[in-house]
Amino acid sequence: MALTYRCLIIDDESPAHKALASHISKFDELEHSGSAFNGMEAIKMLNANQYDIIFLDINMPVISGVELMELQPNRPLTIVTTAYSDFALSAYQNDAIDYLLKPISPEKFAKAIEKAKTYFSGNSLKKENNTNAKVLSYRTNGQMTDMPLHDIIYIESLGNYMKLYSKKLKSPAIIYGSLASISDEIDCTDFVQVHRSYIVNTREITATTFKSLSMSNGETIPVGRKYQILLDNLIIR
């Protein structure tokens, strides 16, 4: 059986939804699985459902497409669909797989889907491994160490290094790497970036305010301005 890719359309204009839905319907391997008409709605849908590809408009009220990409670094494969050509660099810097200018021709849409299929073909094993990963492996004192993801409270960036705060360690582990590099290794269902310097385990949040989070180890984590919208979707367990 051929793979089916679940698609989410994110655009504030109804004609754009109709045009993209029409393009999607012409591919057996694509499934139109959702429609969001603004960034806030899109974030809620992304947090509640599984999608493989998102078609993302740039010029939207409240949260632009670029801001959404920055807020959701672990989002599904992203194809930008926009009437504006001057955001291409920002889109590609945020790992968009393609940048399509409206009106989108069938030929350009088909090329974007081929890029997506090539990506999935080359990364399917990595994607599956990341989704099922239960430990984070890192090197310390010259040896590899595995830390169960459920033991991690939060991760703090220190330039080229990170502090890993765990329920099982008396002091944080200092490991080499960046938050961007580690985000592919952790389960994005339970982990969310709330500041340019912090990724937190949502299961270890004990309280929230507009600008900070209280964690299970008693520490307070700042919430960056552009990440504050994510607080509406956090569930304290």
Question: Could you report the per-residue pLDDT of 173-231, keeping only the tens digit for each?
Answer: 888 777 877 776 676 668 888 998 999 998 999 998 878 999 999 999 999 888 887 76
Query: What does pLDDT average to over the chain?
Result: 85
CATH fold of 135-233 reads OB fold (Dihydrolipoamide Acetyltransferase, E2P) (2.40.50)
Q: Does domain 5-132 have CATH number 3.40.50.2300?
A: yes
User: pLDDT tens across 27-43, in order?
Assistant: 999 999 999 999 999 99
Q: Residue 236: what pLDDT? A: 52
Joined together, the tokens standing for residue 217 give 């180890």
Angstrom distance (rounded) from CA 93 to CA 65:
13
Residues with Cβ within 8 Å of 94's Cβ and at least 6 positions away in sequence, in order, are 66, 69, 70, 73, 78
Q: Cβ distance 67 to 92 under 8 Å? A: no
Q: Residue 216: what pLDDT? A: 96
**DSSP-derived secondary structure for 196-209:** TTEEEEGGGEEEE-
For the chain, the structural domain boundaries read 5-132, 135-233
